[in-house]
Amino acid sequence: MGVIEYCNVVVNTGTRATDRLYTYKVPDIFIGKIKIGSKVIIPFGKGNKLLEGFVFELKSDREIKNIKGLKYIKDVLNDDIKLSRAQIKLCNWMRDTYLCSFYDAIQCLIPRGTTLKKKKVYRINPNIIGSLISSDEGFDNENKIIQMLMENKMISHNELIKGIGYNCNKYISRLLNKKIIMVEEKFYSDIKSKYKKVVEVNFDPKKIDKVLSNMSNRAYKQIEILKYIARVKRVELKDVIEKTNTSRAVLNALEKKNLIKVVDEKEYRTPVDIDQIERDKVNKLNWEQEIAYANIMKTIRNHRFEKYLLHGVTGSGKTEVYMQLVNNVIKNNQQAIILVPEISLTPQIVEKFLKRFGENVAVLHSKLSLGERYDQWKKIKNNEISIVIGARSAVFAPCDNLGLIIIDEEHESSYKSEMNPKYHTIDVAEHLCRENNAVLVLGSATPSIESYYKAQKGEYKLLELKNRFNKNPLPRVEIVDMRVELEEGNKAIFSRKLYDSMKNELLSNKQVILFLNRRGYSTFVSCRSCGYVLKCLNCDISLTYHHRKNVAKCHYCGYQREVPRICPECKSKYIKFFGSGTEKVEAYVNKLFPSYRTKRLDIDTTSKKGSLEKIIESFGKREIDILIGTQMVTKGLDFPYVTLVGVLSADITLNLPDYRANERTFQLLTQVAGRAGRHDFEGNVIIQTYSPNNYAVISSKNHDYKDFFNKEIRIRKEFCYPPFYNIVNIIVLGKNERNVIKSANRLFQKIESETGKSKGLNNIQLLGPNPAILGRIKDNYRWQILLKYQSVDHETIKGIINYICNKNKNKYIESNVGLIFDMKPYNIF
DNA sequence: AGCACGCCGACT
DNA sequence: GTCGGCGTGCTC
């Protein structure tokens, strides 16, 4: 191989149109310094605009076909963010898997705020600087600008506005025309590394007496410092000054005498105050935990890639298993990533890890500042931290030495990104573990149908924890048929059973959690008398009620119908859209139980920073008797005095316009029920519903996951849903509605003909093009095309979509019409 | 995205 | 005969 003189760069132009590698020549000064993954500045396009890019490949002259006409790399930013080879591999994999651009993928892997921005800076034309004085009299503002530029060599546009005012543009352009001043563009980033000054001893500390004997008697402050520094050897500057009661001047004198060294050291901003946290001891595992632990440990020790599904009932002690696995991984000098559905909703698991592992844990959460995030990234990259805990984006933590990824509550939909690229955390984690010969552990009390199916097929190794950690029984679950309540004259949202139980528990000083599920934007049409729900005949999905047109619509295939006046099933007139009215629940509870303390836990009451923690804390201290909450109460809460959980209506999730509605219901009911009776007191759960015979409701009452799985998997097969079939959603969007519709139609036809031509593709369903349910977002019209096909055909279909939509985009798509791909949609909204 | 090239109509 | 409208295509 010849000398590395060329490199292939991904350029950040901000469009998909330039989503490929561009070859640049490496100037001599950068040969050897430029690495794969380096951030570079390159000239691009006709105007040679300077842009940021990342080196994806290095090439020798022999490997480059078309050498003439190449431009040169302008700069290599070695102090900036750098991608590892593994990360570049991950980018390529993401682009291939999710049909996103290189830069979409890169954006996931680097800390936010590190993408360089540009600003205009002005300076005086150096050629005229001598002849400037006393000319141009009478132009006050122009002179003022010149004055400012004489004082500071360079001034940004913003600073000029501050000094002169918003009308400064016209003076600037006059000065530019007269060639008195010049403009140029400068790169900057929102994040700067923070440095601290550190003092180091610069003589042999053992020979301190000799050094001291050479000091003047008058230099008592210097002597003080020398004694101190000989003992500690290295200390932060501000600490020496404080401890020895001296000043910077004294240090300067010592520095001059070469007795100490003052160095800049990168300082990390630490978002968690570790000292405040008391440490926790290792708990002994019970035999079920021990089996799971030993199984996984064996693979970790062998450095083999393997995927485990840890199916453990609520309260079975999965976290303790996680922590002991992590402990072994870090002892091996490897890194571990622990993913949780949402960091703010799972403070208890985060706390457990901090108590066990202290400052070796990086907690990545959405409230970190850009600087904190950047520091954590660098710390992980430099292998100074071994454990990363965070929500889905933490899967991209730059661990070069990965041994283990744990995904807790793996069934949660928050692991699916709804931003571009619309990745699934489990897929990314799987890829990373495969590349690193690491182990992936998916944990859940209610595994997703897809994961459990994979476990059955042997793709995941299944490990089970069937008992609660402290041998407590699972709570007793009762179903209340709300149709009967209506029949017997109770039109209230509380059944008599739930009301009585609440009264009982509260009287004996216990706590109650009420769970209600509010999904404002999607309501369904149902009969309060018989429980009948309007569904799509093709898709077996609840129809969504649209207020404006008074119609019910299918989100999958676009089928729509009028809302009937009387129930087609039982002829009653109680058929209408399912009103949430959930804001009223709190008021209603207050009216029913005026002497008890009630608190609501939802997005409204927890939007303020720290308010969620506050509510949970005071609930833990039993300052609240009744906690009313949305999904937030289903996760992770672990309080001994909670003996009753009431689900106000299982129907809201049961009738989500989604093929996962039953799965979601089973998961939610099981999770929320798991909050009751975790410690010394027995737990009770009451589920109110209009569909008491639904299999999801019944299996969750019986705590029977397998029963639910067996019924659900049959329906998935029958109605052609995952895991047997896969769905792809292509969103066509743009500001011009006519162009969007035109493109969507052309795209649809092309996909139809291409998939028709491909041999061996059976049972493909193409739905659309339909306007997306949220038809207009940020001034963009959105239409969508859904493809449903057998999972085995995924690669073929992906190839066809990529060929039509990316490689030949401008043949079928109008300019300024964009495409977004969702290769595994969770929500068709 | 931007920027140049190019083909067509309006106007000095 | 020239100026400028915007559709088209490329960016190492």
The answer to whether A473 CB sits below 7 Å from nucleic acid chain C is no
Mean pLDDT of A270-292: 78
Name the architecture of domain A195-266: Orthogonal Bundle (1.10)
For residue A498, pLDDT over 90 is answered with yes
Mean pLDDT of A255-284: 73
More confident residue, A545 or A455: A455
Of A562-576, A664-678, A692-706, give the range with the top mean pLDDT.
A692-706
Beta carbons of A337 and A363 less than 8 angstroms apart: no
Burial class for A57, CB neighbours closer than 10 Å (0-12, 13-18, 19+): middle
Sheet strands side by side (includes A551-553): A544-546, A551-553, A560-562
The answer to whether A6 CB sits below 7 Å from nucleic acid chain C is no
CATH 3.30.540.10 is right for the domain spanning A4-109:
no
- Name the least confident of A159-163, A465-469, A669-673, A787-791: A159-163
* Backbone phi and psi for residue A691, each to the nearest 5 degrees, phi listed first: -125, 65
Mean pLDDT of A713-729: 94
Domain range A725-822, its CATH number among 2.130.10.10, 3.40.50.720, 3.40.1350.10, 3.30.70.600:
3.30.70.600
* Fold of domain A274-416+428-460: Rossmann fold (3.40.50)
Assign A160 to helix, strand or coil.
Answer: helix
Pairing state of beta strands A39-44 and A49-60? antiparallel
- B strand bases under 7 Å from protein CB: 1-4
- Please tell me the CATH code under which domain A476-519+581-717 is placed: 3.40.50.300
**Using CA atoms, how far apart are residues A101 and A469, in angstroms rounded to an integer?**
46
Torsion of CA A21, A22, A23, A24, to 10 degrees: -130
Question: Does residue A554 have a known ligand-binding role?
Answer: yes
Mean pLDDT of A61-69: 79
**Using CA atoms, how far apart are residues A422 and A415, in angstroms rounded to an integer?**
10
How far in angstroms lies nucleotide B8's C1' from the CA of residue A101?
A: 37
Average pLDDT score, chain A: 87
Q: What residues does each domain of chain A span?
A: 4-109, 117-188, 195-266, 274-416+428-460, 476-519+581-717, 522-579, 725-822
C-alpha distance from residue A669 to each of A71, A411, A452, A700 (Å)? 61, 14, 18, 6
Torsion of CA A268, A272, A274, A278, to 10 degrees: -170
Domain range A117-188, its CATH number among 3.40.50.970, 1.10.10.10, 1.10.287.3510, 1.20.200.10:
1.10.10.10
The answer to whether A24 CB sits below 7 Å from nucleic acid chain C is yes
CA-closest candidate to residue A616, choices A475, A513, A510, A468: A513
Beta carbons of A690 and A526 less than 8 angstroms apart: yes
**Using CA atoms, how far apart are residues A339 and A395, in angstroms rounded to an integer?**
7
For residue A786, pLDDT over 80 is answered with yes
Name the residue closest to C7, CA to C1'. Answer: A815
Question: Does residue A100 have a known ligand-binding role?
Answer: no
With tokens 């099933």, the residue in question is A569
DSSP A752-818: HHHHHHSTT--S-EEEEEEEEEEEEETTEEEEEEEEEEEGGGHHHHHHHHIIIIIITHHHHS-TTEE
Give, rounded to a whole angstrom, the gap between the first and last alpha carbons of chain A: 52
Which positions ≥6 away from A104 have C-beta within 8 Å? A94, A95, A98, A420, A421
Percentage of chain A with pLDDT > 90?
45
Assign A602 to helix, strand or coil.
Answer: coil
For residue A7, pLDDT over 90 is answered with yes
- Name the least confident of A1-15, A191-205, A476-490: A191-205
Per-residue pLDDT reduced to its tens digit, A306-357: 999 999 998 889 999 999 999 999 999 999 999 999 887 787 888 899 999 9
More confident residue, A270 or A802: A802
- The DSSP call for residue A72 is B
CA-closest candidate to residue A317, choices A467, A541, A216, A181: A467
Nucleotide minimizing C1' to CA distance for residue A45 = C11
Q: What pLDDT score does A277 carry?
A: 66
Comparing A117-188 with A195-266, is the CATH topology the same?
yes
Per-residue pLDDT reduced to its tens digit, A421-463: 999 999 999 999 999 999 999 999 999 999 999 999 999 999 9
The answer to whether A14 CB sits below 7 Å from nucleic acid chain B is yes
